Chain A
Amino acid sequence: MPGKRLVLYGERAFGALTLGFALLVLVLIGGMVYYLIQGAAPALAEFGWRFLVSRRWDAVHEVFGALPFIYGTIASSLLALVLAVPLGVGAAVYLAELAPPWIRTPLSFMIELLAAVPSVVYGLWGLFVMAPWLRAVVEPWLERHLGFLPLFRGPAFGVGILAAGVVLAIMILPTISSVSREVMLAVPDSQREAMLALGATRWETTWKVVIPYGRSGIIGAVILGLGRALGETMAATMVIGNSLNMSLSLFHPANTMASIIVNEFAEAVTRLHTAALIEIAFILFLVTLILNVLARLLVWRVARGPRGLRRE
C-alpha cells in the first residue's frame, strides 16, 4: 500500500513542521541577544561598566553614559507603581470580591480595553490633555504642600518625570488589576467561608485571607506591570520632555532608556553613538527579561496553588 507510506510521511512532516516553527521562537530570542550584543560591542569595549554610572551623554565628543536615562526610567516606573499598585489591587478587590456579575463583567471589560489602547494614543492624550492639567493644577499643589522635598521643587513644565509616571501608571493599571483579579478569583471559597463563619467582616476576610493567599500572584502582577512600565516607549517619550540633564525633581523634563532610543536612533551617525543606543536597548531587554521570568514564576506558582488544595 503506497498510500499508507505517503500518509506516514505527511504525518511526520506535519509534526516536524510545527516543531520547526516552535523552535523559531527560540531562534528569534537567541538572535535578538546575539545581534544586540554585536551591535553594542563598540560601546561595550569603549566604556565598559562606566556606561552605567556616567552622567555625560555627549554625541559631539562621543562620550556616552546612560545614568540619566537609567534614572529617568527607574523614577518614572517607580512612580507608576506607587500610583498603580494601590489603585489596581483596590479595583481587583472590588471586581473579584464585591461587585455583582452585572457590574463585574462590563467593568472588567472596560479596564481590559484600556490595555488595548495604542501607546501613541496615550502619548497624544498625555501631551495635550494631561500635561497641561498637571502644570496648572497638580504641580503647583504638590509644590505648595510637599515642596520641602527636593522631588517636588522647581518650575512646573507639565511634561517631565511626573507626567511620564502618571501615564505609565494608567497603562500598567489593567495588567495589575486583571492579573490580581484572576489570582483572587482562584482563592478557594472555603477559605473565605471559614473566615466569615468566624465572624470576620468582608474587609477582614479580604485583607487577612484572600490577599495573603494570593500574595505571590499579586506580587507577580506588580512585577509584570513594572516590566511593562520600564519598556513602555511611545507614551513615555511623548510626555517626559526629552532632556539630557539629570535632575532629582519630578517636575523636570528627562529621558527614559526607551525614549532616548526613539529620539536619537534614527539620527545617530557615528558608529559609537549607534552602539551606545543599542547597548541601552540591550540593557532594557535584559532587565525586562529578568522581570518577566520572575513574574511568570510567581504567577505560575499561585495558579498551580498549594498542593492538595487545588480545585479541579
Chain B
Amino acid sequence: MSHYWRRRLLNYLLLGLCVACTAVAVFPLLSILFYVAVRGFQALSPEFFTQMPRPVGEPGGGMANAVAGTFIMVGLAALLGLPVGIMAGIYLAEYGRGRLADVIRFMTDVFTGVPSVVIGVFIYTVVVTRMGSFSALAGGLALSLIIIPLVTRTTEELLRMVPYTLREASLALGATKARTIVSVVLRSAAGGVVTGVMLAIARAAGETAPLLFTALSSRHWSLALREPMASLPVYIYTYAISPFRDWQVQAWGAALVLLLTVLGLNLVARAVTRSRYRY
C-alpha cells in the first residue's frame, strides 16, 4: 500500500500548494488596500478637494486642480471614445462578416495590448508637436485610445448575448435592421454595455503614462482645453518620486481618492451585471 499512500500524500501536498498559491496571490491586494487606506486616510481632509497645491514646505493645500483635471480629461475621453467604441462594437456584432470583420476584431484585441506609454508617445508626435504645446485636449485623446478597444470588444460580446429570437420578433413586426439594433438589441443589452463603459472609464481614470507627454501637469487652476492640465495619476507619480516628505504623504491621499474612484466604478459595474444579466 505504500505506493497508494505516496500518491495520496502527493495529492494533498500539491493541492495544498495550490491553495497556498491562491493565498499568496491575494495577499498583495490586501496589502495595497491596507496601506493606501491607512496612509491615504491620514493624508486626506476636505481641503484636498477644495485647495490648490502649495509650494514645498508650506503645510496643507490640496489637489483641487488635479481632481477637476482628471474629471475633465476622462470626460473628454469618454465623449470621444464611447461613440467610436460602441458603433464599432455594433458593426462587429451585427454587420461584420468575413475577413474584414475578423481583421478588425483581431486588431481591436491587439490594440488593447498596446503599452499605454506608446499611446502617449503616439499622441505626442501627432497632436502635441502640431499644436505646439501640451494640452488637456491631447490628454483626453490619449485616454480615448485606451477606452476605444475596450468598449468595442465588450459591446460586441454583449450584443452577441442578446437572443436571436428578439431580433426576429422585431424584424417580423416590420422594423428595419437599424431600428431593430437601436431599439431592441442595444436596449436589451444596455445594462451590460453600461457596465463595459464604466470599466473602460475606470481604466482610463487610472492611467498615467498616456498623460505624461500629452497633458503634462499644471500647478494652477486651469480649465482650458488648449493648455496643460493636472490630473490625479500624474500628481501621484510626481509627488511619490519627489524627495519631500509632505508631498509623499499627499501622494498617498491622492492614491486613496483614485483607488476609491476606480474600485468603486468596478464594484458598481459588476454589481449591475450580476443582478440583471445572467444569460
Q: List residues of A whose CB falls within 8 A of some B CB.
A: 7, 10-11, 14-15, 17-26, 28-29, 31-32, 35-36, 38-39, 86-91, 93-95, 97-99, 107, 109-111, 113-114, 116-125, 127-129, 170, 173, 177, 201-204, 207, 224, 227-228, 230-234, 238, 258, 261-262, 265-266, 277-278, 281-282, 284-285, 288-289, 291-293, 296
Most chain A CB within a 10 A radius of its CB, from B8, B22, B95, B199:
B22
Those of B213-249 within 8 Å (CB) of chain A? 213, 216, 233, 236-237, 240-241, 248
Sorting the interface of chain B by its residue count into under 10, 10 to 19, 20 to 34 or 35 or more gives 35 or more
Any A CB within 8 A of the CB of B124: yes
**B212 interface neighbour in A177, A231, A265, A296, Cβ under 8 Å:** A265
Q: Which of B17, B95, B205 contacts A19 (CB 8 A)?
A: B95
- Would you call A32 and B88 a contact (CB within 8 A)? no
CA distance A214 to B154 in the complex (A): 24
Q: Does any Cβ of A come within 8 Å of B172's Cβ?
A: no
Bound-state Cα–Cα, A111 to B111, Å: 23
Residue of A nearest to B181 (CB): A14
A18–B110 contact, CB under 8 A? no
Does the CB pair A36–B125 fall under 8 Å?
A: yes
Chain B nearest CB: distance from A202 CB in Å? 6
Contact between A125 and B104, CB atoms less than 8 A apart: no
Dominant secondary structure at the A interface: helix
22 interchain pairs (CB within 8 A)? Answer: A19-B95, A20-B87, A22-B96, A25-B104, A25-B149, A32-B114, A90-B18, A94-B21, A107-B26, A114-B29, A119-B206, A122-B32, A125-B35, A128-B35, A128-B248, A201-B8, A203-B10, A224-B113, A227-B113, A258-B117, A284-B117, A288-B115
Contact between B92 and A258, CB atoms less than 8 A apart: no
A123:B237 contact, CB within 8 angstroms: yes
Interface residues of B in 12-41 (CB under 8 A from A): 14-15, 17-22, 24-26, 28-29, 31-32, 35-36
Residues on B with C-beta less than 8 A from A26 are: 103-104, 107
Interface string of B80-106 (1 = CB under 8 A from A): 000110011011101110000101101
Chain B residues within an 8 Å CB radius of A17? 87
| 19 further interface pairs, Cβ-Cβ under 8 Å (given A36-B121, A238-B241, A265-B124) | A11-B176, A11-B178, A20-B87, A22-B88, A25-B84, A32-B119, A38-B125, A39-B121, A93-B21, A94-B21, A94-B22, A121-B36, A125-B35, A177-B25, A203-B15, A233-B208, A258-B117, A285-B118, A296-B106
Which residues from chain B contact A284 at a C-beta distance below 8 Å? 115, 117-118
Q: How far is the CA of A262 from the CA of B116 in the complex (A)?
A: 11
Chain A residue nearest in CB terms to B36? A121
Minimum C-beta distance from A55 to chain B (A): 22
Are B32 and A35 in contact (CB-based, < 8 A)?
no
With both chains docked as a complex, state the minimum distance between the C-beta of A231 and any C-beta of chain B, in angstroms: 3
The yes or no answer to B109 lying at the interface (CB within 8 A) is yes
Look across to chain A and name the residue whose beta carbon is closest to the beta carbon of B106. Answer: A296
In the complex, chain B residues whose CB is within 8 Å of the CB of A31: 122, 126
Residues of chain B with a CB closer than 8 A to A95's CB = 22
Contact status A238-B240, CB under 8 Å: yes
Tell whether, in the assembled complex, residue A262 and residue B212 are in contact, meaning their CB atoms are under 8 Å apart.
yes
Say yes or no: is B77 at the interface (Cβ < 8 Å to chain A).
Answer: no
- Taking a contact as CB atoms under 8 Å apart, the answer to whether A258 and B236 are in contact is no
Interface mask (B117-153 → A, CB under 8 Å = 1, otherwise 0): 1110110111000000000000000000100110010
Any A CB within 8 A of the CB of B258 = yes
Q: Which of B61-69, B161-169, B189-197, B262-270 contacts A (4 or more CB under 8 A)?
A: B262-270
Interface-central residue, A11, A123, A125, A127, by most chain B CB under 10 Å: A125
Q: Are B176 and A7 in contact (CB under 8 A)?
A: yes
Residues of B within 8 A of A177 (CB): 25
Given A119-B209, A121-B36, A238-B237, the answer on whether A231 and B115 have CB atoms closer than 8 Å is yes
B121 pairs with A124, CB closer than 8 A? no
| Contact digits for B34-51, partner A, Cβ 8 Å, 1 yes 0 no | 011000000000000000
For the complex, what is the distance from the CA of A227 to the CA of B116, rounded to whole Å?
12
Asked if B241 contacts A28 (CB within 8 A), the reply is no
Closest to A258 in B: B117
A38 to B124, CA, bound (A): 13
- Contact check, B115 vs A233: say whether CB atoms are below 8 A apart: yes
Smallest distance from the beta carbon of B196 to chain A beta carbons, Å?
14
How far, in angstroms, from A204 to B11 measured CA to CA in the complex? 7
- The smallest beta-carbon distance between A293 and chain B, in angstroms, is 6
